[in-house]
Amino acid sequence: MGMFDKLLANLKASRKKIVFTEGTDARILSAASKLLEENLMDVILCGNVDDVKKAAAEGNFNIDKAEILDPLTYPEMDSMVSAMFELRKGKMTEEECRSALQKSNYFGTMLVKLGKADALLGGATYSTADTVRPALQIIKTKKGSNLVSSSFILFREVNGVEEKIAMGDCAINISYQDRLDKAGNVVLTAAQQLAEVAVETARTADYFGIDPKVAVLSFSTYGSGKGSTVQLSHDAVIEARKIDPELVIDGEFQFDAAVSKEVAAVKCPDSKVAGQANTFIFPLIEAGNIGYKIAQRLGGFAAYGPVLQGLNAPINDLSRGCNAEEVYRMAIITAGMA
């Protein structure tokens, strides 16, 4: 539990309130009951009050101290609709806002926006897109961020020694293309976007006690291969150094060059990252998603995430295959980052 020490200290120093969008889900109720029993945070469960209480009773979960809010009967809905209509600035009508807020993902996100909760955790049954879309529309990206990305923190203990690594982006950005304005001018290159993912993932890694040594990955090391995303990974390193000159980052690397001292000694002996990387940046979501799941299933790592990056408030997404313990730990991560 070492990696959670800082988060637990934050929660003890300043009490937080988390909103769960799927209040009738047994995994959510199990985690909520444990969080409340341990007095770690306040909990809001979204859903029909009778349905939530029935599901809790069926699972023998004690949620007496939780607040249950039903979007369909919420007494302050009119003012919430007005606030969302104002936020959307003509992109949604009042009726469209009201319709959206009847769904727990939008309702819960708006509770965070209005300061009624500090953080949100969803995705036990919602897709990642259904968690991220309301966050982008309502919470929005923080100053200096051009995109939302994600990372996973992976943890295992080998012979009593803790090992922690970070991987991004494995859940949000499918691929990276130059972003154009209406006139066709490039306003943000693909490499600048991947660089932002690298910098944000390094910050997340640092928050979890990893001293980030960032490898931007590829099927090429220092130009040994050509085509596909090689140039993207190479250029992202250059752009990331512009964003954060202090960041220890290098690439493009094949994975073996990033982690094996023997391979690094042959392929890139002068690199400060090669052979000792602990924060890995993938140029495509396929590689990232496959990579973290291989580490999880074959490498024996526990995977925590996706931790969403670049937003104005902690909104995090669960894997739909999650279990109650993962929900519990993700709740500590999410509230602890508030």
pLDDT tens profile 50-68: 999 999 999 999 999 999 9
Mean pLDDT of the chain: 94
Instruction: Compute and round to an integer the Cα radius of gyration of the chain.
Output: 21
Counting beta carbons within 10 angstroms of the beta carbon of residue 273, is it exposed (0 to 12), middle (13 to 18) or buried (19 or more)?
A: buried
Alpha helices by DSSP H, 227-274: 230-243, 255-259, 261-267
Alpha-carbon dihedral 124, 129, 130, 132, rounded to 10 degrees: 100
The pLDDT of residue 337 is 86
pTM: 0.88
Banded model confidence at residue 275, pLDDT cuts 50, 70, 90: very high
Mean pLDDT over 119-125 rounds to 92
Mean pLDDT over 321-334 rounds to 91
Mean pLDDT over 227-233 rounds to 94
Mean pLDDT over 179-183 rounds to 93
The pLDDT of residue 138 is 93
Give the chain's domains with CATH numbers: 2-140+312-336 (3.40.50.10950), 149-302 (3.40.50.10750)
Q: Which two tokens stand for residue 132?
A: 């991220």
How far apart (Å, rounded) are the C-alpha atoms in residues 332 and 29?
Answer: 15
- Give the largest CA-CA distance in the chain: 66
Let me know: does 317 contact 150? Beta carbons within 8 Å: yes
Establish whether the linkage from the previous residue to 250 is cis, with ω within 30° of 0.
no
Counting beta carbons within 10 angstroms of the beta carbon of residue 74, is it exposed (0 to 12), middle (13 to 18) or buried (19 or more)?
A: middle
Q: Which two tokens stand for residue 51?
A: 């349905």
